[in-house]
Amino acid sequence: MNSIASFVTMILAVATALTFTGCADAVGGAPIGTQAAPRSTSVLPTSTVPTSAPPAPVSLKRLHQEYVASGLPCDWVVTDNVMLGTIASGRCTGTENGINTFAAQADVDALLKLNSEGIEPGLFLVGAMWVVGSEHPEDLIKAQATMGGDLWPTDSAFFAGK
């Protein structure tokens, strides 16, 4: 299967799974990039009281500007949200490269969990309540320079040694 079709199939599978299972809020744990070991998928409540407010969602416009500032071309189209929990979605025309912002980090974690369980998992750049997907993993590495975030999955053979 070619990479564009694989990416589109994965996004649709994840969106369908999130929509029908309602599991977007069922994944617990620390935000991406802060864990030292794989997280438990346990949804047991914790007794810890948060000491700070969760981060505010980042604007899709700002993320697009940072993406382009990394030197990647991206004629921009804002799209319908295809995943449960997204606030805003956009993609670069002529590619499957896209940026999604989410209402909560739990929604991002649920997307990544479902993706990791897929037959052909995708590669992403993941930040606080946002995800960049690309049909070209090298674009994710380049975008990371201006956008920050973590390359996911960290154990990907493509990202090893980068």
Complete DSSP assignment for 22-36? -GGG---SSPTT--S
Residue written as token pair 């992403």: 124
Residue of higher predicted confidence among 162 and 48: 162
Mean pLDDT score, 40-66: 64
For residues 63 and 9, what is the distance between their CA atoms, to the nearest angstrom?
Answer: 24
Please check whether residue 87 is in contact with residue 63, taking contact to mean a CB–CB distance below 8 angstroms. Answer: no
Residue 116 burial (CB count, 10 A): 11
Residue of higher predicted confidence among 23 and 100: 100
Can you give the pLDDT at residue 20? Answer: 34
Question: Considering the entire predicted model, what is its pTM?
Answer: 0.65
Helical residues (DSSP H) of 22-156, grouped into ranges: 60-69, 105-116, 137-147
Element of type H or E holding 7: helix 3-21
The DSSP 8-state label assigned to residue 95 in this structure reads: S
Mean pLDDT score, 120-144: 92
For residue 37, name the pLDDT band (cuts at 50, 70, 90).
very low
Can you give the pLDDT at residue 63? Answer: 95
Can you give the pLDDT at residue 161? Answer: 62
Q: Percent of the chain, pLDDT > 90?
A: 40
For residue 3, name the pLDDT band (cuts at 50, 70, 90).
very low
Can you give the pLDDT at residue 53? Answer: 60
Can you give the pLDDT at residue 154? Answer: 76
Residue of higher predicted confidence among 90 and 16: 90
